[in-house]
Amino acid sequence: MPGQGNHKPSADVQTAFLQNKTQPASVELERAVLSAMLRDPEFCIPTAVSMFGNQAEVFFTATHRELFKAILKISESQSEKAVDLVNLTYELRKDGKGDMFDEVALAELYSAVATTANIETWCQSLRDLYSLRKMIGVCNESLLRCYDPTASAAKLIEEFETSVYKIRESGKGTTYQSIKNCVRKEFEYLHAVYENRVEVGISSGFTQMDKLTGGLKPGEMFVLAARPSIGKTAFALNIIRNIAFPHRTPNPKKVVFFSLEMTAEQITRRLLCTEADVSEGDFRVKDRLQSADLNRLAQAVDRIRKAKLYIDPTPGLTVMELRARARRMYMTKDEDNTPMIDMIVIDYLQLMHADVGAADGRQNEVAMISGGLKALAKELNIPVLVLAQLNREIDKNARPDAKPKLSHLRESGAIEQDADVVAFLHRNRDEAKDLPRGQSTKAEVIIEKNRNGQIGVVNLLFFPYRTEFCPASPHSEDEMPASAK
């Protein structure tokens, strides 16, 4: 019957397209780069190394790979040998590769170019060809694996996207850097920070917390944990308002919010009500809302719609799916030709899953998720704010004001290990019950781990009526969110 049977194509069909196809390569370019490295080693060898690293595979021809390795070996030797034809011939013979070359061929290679002025262009073209060959290898392997009946489609897609992303990143040059270059670059960065020309991290809008953490820094995973109903989501949304809404900051950021617990409509409604100083509960009581409330909501709509905030409410996301979606958004350029996102927020970690069958036990699964999120922050070099649930051990304590500790992080110590910053949101839930409009209760953010800064406690006020956290006194007027002034 049509649609039944084994659809795997024959070997002839699989290879038909690739028959008589040559790999992307250029012998002339390879000779030009090697010739330039011999003619002007002081300039051209560092240029080639900065673009290739020590990857001899950039050269498609086997003899050219051996020449490249021999040139680097001479250049990096402690004897300070000159990179010339005599030493190159000696090095090749010493490594047992002398039979692959003769003096005439090496002399012809040395004279292959008249000038080394185009070395950077040649290296870029050679690296592009190498990237194409790697893409062919990745695509071929992925194609064959697609016919495996036991393969996981989601896992294959994520692995393919990861491989493509690595090829894309490898096209930017070597992954290692000399400390000589790094220290100069970092001094210039620190000097710019000192002069307030750049920001250490994205300001959360909570000044006292930023003083401890340095803000939400690129490449770092910031874990905000609390018991249920303490206000993790509310606090995260308060931070999003402070950094993404143009009327609240002169330098608004682009944020993607992965909400595994609430719908996009619920998130939007909460943002609207907080911004307008209106209680969500008022919508459920007839005649509670006044015309002034509706006017403030209309004004809030006008302010919020200008924010570059993206909400993904997909429940039960796997860490691979989330990383793939974030990676695609990051690679998508905004109208200013910058990445579509500056920061990621995830609500919350324990609602995520690892790939099916990838982990044995929930603790290992959470460890894989945590490690995957940290890798995502480092890969995209943007801050990732992750909300997390605390275990029930803290509730077993007889004291109602018992404060959380690192050991209370639910299901895995890997969260503590992977996170750059671990903060606990803490307050007494009973104190917030039935508080009238305008009344607040005390809360605090406990910075319990800070890999690159200080730990400490930040005092807050929580206004349950509008689900907003504000800095507690003493504070200056400019430290308070606008709606609290």
Residues 6+ apart with CB under 8 A from 66: 56, 92, 97, 100
* From 120, 161, 199, 261, active-site residue: 261
Give the whole-angstrom CA distance, residue 442 versus residue 77. Answer: 64
Give the whole-angstrom CA distance, residue 255 versus residue 440. Answer: 28
Strands 421-427 and 441-450: antiparallel
Give the whole-angstrom CA distance, residue 13 versus residue 484. Answer: 68
| Tokens 């609390």 found at | 226
Strands 343-347 and 384-389: parallel
- Tokens for 462, please give them: 């929580």
HSE-CB of 301 using CA atoms within 13 angstroms: 6
- Tokens for 297, please give them: 């909501």
According to DSSP, the residues that pair with 318 across neighbouring strands are 353
Residues 6+ apart with CB under 8 A from 442: 427, 428, 431, 459, 460, 461, 462, 472
* Long-range pairs, 110-115, Cβ under 8 A, ≥24: 110/35, 110/38, 110/39, 110/85, 111/35, 112/31, 112/32, 112/34, 112/35, 113/32, 113/35, 113/36, 113/39
- Helical axes 319-331 vs 362-380, angle rounded to 10°: 10
- Tokens for 328, please give them: 């695609």
HSE-CB of 241 using CA atoms within 13 angstroms: 28
- What's the N-to-C CA distance of the chain in angstroms? 73
66 has catalytic annotation:
no
Is 89 exposed, middle or buried, given 0-12, 13-18 or 19+ CB atoms closer than 10 A?
Answer: middle
Residue 105: what residue type? A
Give the whole-angstrom CA distance, residue 142 versus residue 159. Answer: 9
Give the whole-angstrom CA distance, residue 30 versus residue 130. Answer: 11
* Residues annotated as catalytic (active site), given as ranges: 261
